C-alpha cells in the first residue's frame, strides 16, 4: 500500500527539488555520481559478505506455494542485466505504477522530476509543492503503520520461532553481525579512501568533530531529523562552505543511503538463503542495481528502509513475507545504518569542498 506512492513522490520531489540544473552544474554532477558510487560499493559489500558467511543457511522456511512455483518466479524475475536495463523504460507509466514495477517507477519519477525543471514560473512550484506534500503524507502514513508494528513483530516473531524452533534466533544473530560488520567495513573505507584520500582530513579528527552527529543519528534513526546538526557541524567544525553544505547535505539526506542499501543487500540474500532460493549472478547484480536506485527514494525517517526492502525482494522474486524473519532486530540495525548514512553525507560534503578548492 505504501511502497509505490512513497517511492514515486519521494523520488519526483527530491529530483525536482534540485532546482535549475544549469546552476547546479559541475557540483551537482559530481555529488550525484559520488553518492551513486558509494551506495553501489556499500550494497556490493553487503551482498559479498552475506554470500561468504551464509547467515540464512540452515533455516527451513517455506513460502506460500510450492517450491517449483517459487523457483519459476525467481527465474522469470531474473532476466539478463541488459534486458533489465532496457525494461527500466516503461511503455506505459500508469501500468508500471499499477503493477508495482519498481525499476520503471524509479526511472519515470526521476525523468519526470528532471522534466519539471524545464517548466517556468508558478506552474512548476505548484507541482513540486504538491509532490513534496504527498511525499510527506506517505511518510506520515508509514509512521502510523510503524506505531502498531511492534505488535505485528511480536506475533510474527512468535509464530516463526514456534514453527521453526529456537535455532532461528541464532541465525538472526549471525545475520545482525554480518550487517554490523558490513557497516563498519564500509565506514572504514569511506573514512580512509574518501575522507583522507580525497578530502585530506585525518579520520580520527573527523570522528572527533562528527561524534555529536553520529550519536544524534543513532538515537533518532533519522537522516532528516539529524540534518540541521549535520549542516552546522559541516560548516562550523569541518570548514565546509555554506553553499556546498546547503546543497550536498540535504541532497544526501534524500538520496545517499549507504547503510540502508548495504542492509538491504544482506537482508535479500539472507531471506533467499532461508527459503533455499538460489540467486544467480544476474539476480544478485539486479539486487545491487535495485537497492542502489531504491536508496535514492528512501526517505530519511525511521522504518522506511524496511518498506523499501519489499521492492528489492520483489525485483528478484524473493517472498516478501520473509521480512517477518528480520523485523525483530530491525530497529537496532536501523539506528546503526543511519549513523553510516549521515556520516557518508558529511564525508561527501568535505570531499566536494576539496573539489571546489574550498
Q: Are 323 and 190 in contact (CB under 8 A)?
A: no
pLDDT at 181 over 90: yes
Question: What are the angstrom distances between the C-alpha of 169 and each of 62, 150, 156?
Answer: 17, 17, 13
Give strand pairing partners of 57. Answer: 59
pLDDT at 210 over 70: yes
pLDDT at 347 over 90: yes
pLDDT at 179 over 90: yes
Per cent of the chain over pLDDT 70 is 82
Task: Check residue 79 and report its DSSP letter.
Answer: -
Which domains does the chain carry? 21-81+149-355 (1.10.3860.10)
What angle do helix axes 122-164 and 304-315 make, rounded to 10 degrees? 80
Query: In which element (H, E) is residue 308 found?
Result: helix 304-315
**Phi and psi at residue 166, to the nearest 5°:** -70, -15
Say whether 57 sits in a helix, a strand or coil: strand
Taking the CB of residue 307, how many other CB atoms lie within 10 A of it?
21
| pTM given for the model | 0.70
Where would I find the H helices in 190-241?
203-220, 223-236
The three cell numbers of residue 274 are: 532461508
> What is the average per-residue pLDDT within 89-103?
85
| 120-129, 174-183, 220-229, range with greatest mean pLDDT | 174-183
Q: With bands split at pLDDT 50, 70 and 90, how would you rate the model's confidence at 177? A: very high
For residue 164, the model assigns a pLDDT of 62
For residue 75, the model assigns a pLDDT of 46
For residue 158, the model assigns a pLDDT of 77
Per cent of the chain over pLDDT 90 is 16
For residue 84, the model assigns a pLDDT of 63
pLDDT at 60 over 60: yes
Amino acid at each position: 500500500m505504501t511502497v509505490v506512492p512513497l517511492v514515486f513522490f519521494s523520488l519526483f520531489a527530491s529530483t525536482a527539488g534540485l532546482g535549475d540544473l544549469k546552476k547546479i552544474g559541475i557540483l551537482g554532477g559530481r555529488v550525484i555520481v559520488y553518492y551513486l558510487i558509494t551506495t553501489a560499493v556499500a550494497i556490493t559489500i553487503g551482498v559479498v559478505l552475506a554470500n561468504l558467511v551464509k547467515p540464512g543457511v540452515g533455516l527451513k522456511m517455506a513460502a506460500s506455494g510450492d517450491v517449483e512455483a517459487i523457483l519459476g518466479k525467481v527465474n522469470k524475475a531474473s532476466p539478463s542485466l541488459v534486458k533489465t536495463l532496457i525494461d527500466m523504460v516503461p511503455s506505459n507509466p500508469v501500468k508500471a505504477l499499477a503493477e508495482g514495477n519498481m525499476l520503471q517507477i524509479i526511472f519515470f519519477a526521476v525523468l519526470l522530476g528532471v522534466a519539471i525543471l524545464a517548466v517556468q514560473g508558478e506552474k512548476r512550484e505548484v507541482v513540486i509543492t504538491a509532490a513534496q506534500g504527498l511525499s510527506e503524507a506517505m511518510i506520515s502514513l508509514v509512521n502510523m503503520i510503524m506505531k502498531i508494528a511492534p505488535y505485528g513483530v511480536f506475533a510474527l516473531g512468535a509464530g516463526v520461532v514456534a514453527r521453526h524452533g529456537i535455532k532461528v534466533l541464532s541465525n538472526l544473530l549471525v545475520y545482525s553481525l554480518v550487517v554490523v560488520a558490513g557497516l563498519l567495513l564500509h565506514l572504514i573505507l569511506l573514512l580512509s579512501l574518501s575522507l583522507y584520500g580525497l578530502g585530506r582530513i585525518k579520520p580520527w579528527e573527523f570522528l572527533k568533530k562528527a561524534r555529536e552527529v553520529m550519536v544524534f543519528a543513532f538515537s533518532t534513526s533519522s537522516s532528516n531529523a539529524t540534518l540541521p546538526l549535520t549542516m552546522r557541524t559541516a560548516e562550523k567544525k569541518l570548514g565546509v562552505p555554506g553553499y556546498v553544505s546547503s546543497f550536498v547535505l540535504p541532497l544526501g539526506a534524500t538520496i545517499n543511503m549507504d547503510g540502508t542499501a548495504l542492509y538491504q543487500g544482506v537482508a535479500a540474500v539472507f531471506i533467499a538463503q532461508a527459503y533455499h532460493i538460489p540467486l544467480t549472478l544476474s539476480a544478485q547484480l539486479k539486487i545491487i542495481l535495485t537497492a542502489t536506485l531504491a536508496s535514492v527514494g528512501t526517505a530519511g525517517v525511521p522504518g522506511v528502509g524496511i518498506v523499501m526492502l519489499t521492492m528489492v525482494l520483489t525485483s528478484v522474486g524473493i517472498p516478501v513475507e520473509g521480512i517477518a524473519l528480520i523485523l525483530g532486530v530491525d530497529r537496532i540495525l536501523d539506528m546503526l545504518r543511519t549513523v553510516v548514512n549521515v556520516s557518508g553525507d558529511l564525508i561527501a560534503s568535505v570531499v566536494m569542498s576539496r573539489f571546489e578548492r574550498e
